[in-house]
Amino acid sequence: MEEKLRELSEAIAAARPAAVEGVKIALGELTLVVPASEIVGLVTLLRDDPKFGFVSLIDVCGVDYPEREKRFDVVYHLLSPTKNVRIRLKVMTDEVTPVPSITGVLEGADWFEREAYDLYGILFT
């Protein structure tokens, strides 16, 4: 499984190099760290490119690290039903910098983004 996830991360980085700042594979899960400016383009690629097929949004949530300058992580969990694999995307932000909304790509993100705003004050465009 780890080999499959490593190959997936390499394919994503090759397709959109500016969108992958970091990669972590742990406990059978792939996490990519993504700059906020790249999140919409990356989610669009992951949804539309048949070699990825991440058409299902599982959730979007926030994590607060008050000691960091960019104190919030916005965490996206996506599922590719055709590949039977999940991916986690993390975007870091602060209290005043909005993260681009992915609702234009995956409409179901609307509720999750509003919840992250209500619970943490994370801003979305």
Q: Which two tokens stand for residue 82?
A: 């055709």
pLDDT by residue for the chain (125 residues), tens digit each? 789 999 999 999 999 999 999 999 998 899 999 999 999 999 999 999 999 999 999 999 999 999 999 999 999 999 999 999 999 999 999 999 999 999 999 999 999 999 999 999 999 99
Give me the pLDDT at residue 2, please.
Answer: 87
Give me the pLDDT at residue 1, please.
Answer: 77
Q: What is the DSSP string of 34-91?
A: --GGGHHHHHHHHHH-TTT---EEEEEEEEE-TTSSS-EEEEEEEEETTTTEEEEEEE
Compute the 3-state secondary structure of the chain and give helix, strand, coil in percent, each to the nearest 5: 35, 30, 35
Tokens 């992915």 found at: 102
Helix/strand/coil for 96: coil
Q: Residue 67 region, left (φ>0) first, then alpha (ψ -120 to 50), else beta?
A: alpha
Give me the pLDDT at residue 28, please.
Answer: 86
Give me the pLDDT at residue 27, please.
Answer: 87
Q: Whole-model pTM?
A: 0.94
87, with CB counted inside 10 A (0-12, 13-18, 19+), is buried
